[in-house]
Amino acid sequence: MKIGIVGGGAVGLLFAGYLGQKFDVTLIVRREAQVQSLLTNGITVYTGGSSFTTQVHTDLLTDVSLKFDFVIVAVKEYDLKPLENVLKLLDKNQPLLFLQNGIGHLEWVKSLPHHNLLAGSVEHGALKENDHTLHHLGEAKTNIALIKGEWGVVEELVSQSIPGFPFLLKQDFEEMLLTKLFVNVLINPLTALARVRNGKLIENPHLHQLQRDLFQELLLLFPHMERIVSFEGVKGICINTFQNRSSMLKDIESQRKTEIESILGVLLEKAQKEHHFVPIMNVIYRLVKGIEREGLGG
């Protein structure tokens, strides 16, 4: 099976590194320098005190024809819109899997003309060291659910046993993404603002109380999720990823644009439309946006 992976960040490298062991993978990136680095070095993944290197094809986004059996879109949510014209050139029967955080991209994805659209929720931790090297921070799984259409070749992907990189099929894509969103809201912005690793959120009573407050505000917006997501479950994720630094913390430290719009911005819009009072969420959103603005030069 020929798989195209769009995006040369941590998630794109992680998927290419593992899937390239079993499939014919092409990693599609924006910069010529990364193309050359990948062609020379392959992808090296450090995990659990060891490492492996995978050789994959690579191409520039502007040059690639995207003729694959399956395409995985692993760019950040705010980079999806510029891909629209490229994706619309694909065979409409070609399955597309989207791996973005949050739920802000869902309506856009649904508007695409393709017949088979899927959403993914990535639980792995990954830290990109350079254009061809990353650290796999704790083995977990990738959940996949159909947005519309049929599973098709995705079932072959899931059936292949790749050590350290399992997939799990889910029935309800919205429920799957909301579960991940709860985790993102309760971890990413707080670690970014406090400049701490995930575990500190449960060690520090003040930060832990903020997590509890945010959890209650989320249940105002999505009351049906109370039977699906528990605060203790989120706490367990903080324990299991104790030493991890969230992607939003890394973005703030590197003075990059964050995913705060897709994680919190879309929720504030929902709260306003439905007349919910979510003051903690609003303050945290404004603080992250303020820090982000300063880092990007105002």
The CATH number assigned to the domain holding 272 equals: 1.10.1040.10
CATH label of the domain that carries residue 75: 3.40.50.720
Instruction: Spot the catalytic one: 92, 128, 148, 180.
Output: 180
Q: Report the pLDDT value the prediction gives residue 63, as an integer from 0 to 100.
A: 65
Residue 167 phi, psi dihedral angles, 5° rounding: -120, 150
| 165/110 same-domain check | yes
| 135/14 same-domain check | yes
Residues ≥6 apart with Cβ < 8 Å to 274: 221
pTM value is: 0.92
Beta strands in 15-65 (DSSP E): 24-29, 43-47, 50-54, 57-60
| 180/167 same-domain check | no
pLDDT per residue as tens digits for the range 254-271: 999 999 999 999 999 999
| 33/159 same-domain check | yes
**Of 151, 171, 191, which residue is a domain's last?**
171
Residues ≥6 apart with Cβ < 8 Å to 190: 201, 207, 210, 211, 214, 284
Whole-angstrom CA distances from 241 to 90, 183, 198, 221, 234 are 37, 12, 6, 26, 11
| 162/212 same-domain check | no
| 89/19 same-domain check | yes
| Structural domain span for residue 286 | 176-295
Is 180 part of the annotated catalytic residue set? yes
Q: Report the pLDDT value the prediction gives residue 197, as an integer from 0 to 100.
A: 94
Structural tokens at position 169: 């099929």
**Of 171, 201, 220, which residue is a domain's last?**
171
Residue 19 burial class via C-beta count within 10 angstroms: exposed 0-12, middle 13-18, buried 19 and up = buried
| 19/167 same-domain check | yes
Q: How many domains does the chain have?
A: 2
Positions in the chain whose pLDDT score sits under 50: none
